[in-house]
Amino acid sequence: MSDAEASEYTMKYIITLSLLTLFLSSAMMQKNTVSKSKSANFQADSGKIIYETYCLPCHQEDGSGVPNMNPPLVNTDWVLGDSLRLINVILKGLKDAEVNGDSFSNEMPSHDFLTDKEVAEVLTYVRKSFGNKAGAIHPEDVKKQRAKK
């Protein structure tokens, strides 16, 4: 590995760690707020709040991702296709993803600490946002997939 390649790798590693740190600190601060709300209006917005808490640092505000690091959530088979595969990504994480012919190197950690309802809400938000037009995910589907672990 040349010095330039090592330097680029180190920079990517530092950026990844910084994003992960931001993600984890944001997640810890907002987890209780997301879980405790019971209002009917909140349910419609809770997927967005969960996305902003756990997904936005890597997948960006507009779902565009980060080239070669974090995949986009816009118009991809991963989002619009098999909902069970998408549920598994949240529950089990994902490493070395290929999306729309592009490879992404950052490993997505498991988010199995989210409740079935939270997983359903955030995935429904993603499947209906960023120009996506896919069906809702239901907590019962998440519960079934979680039981298969």
- Residue 121: domain span: 3-36+43-147
The predicted-structure confidence for 78-88, as pLDDT tens digits, reads as follows 999 999 999 99
pLDDT at 89 over 60: yes
* Per-residue pLDDT at 38: 40
The tokens for 123 are 């995935």
The predicted-structure confidence for 28-44, as pLDDT tens digits, reads as follows 544 444 444 443 334 55
Looking at the structure of the chain, the number of domains it has is 1
pLDDT at 9 over 70: no
CATH code, 71: 1.10.760.10
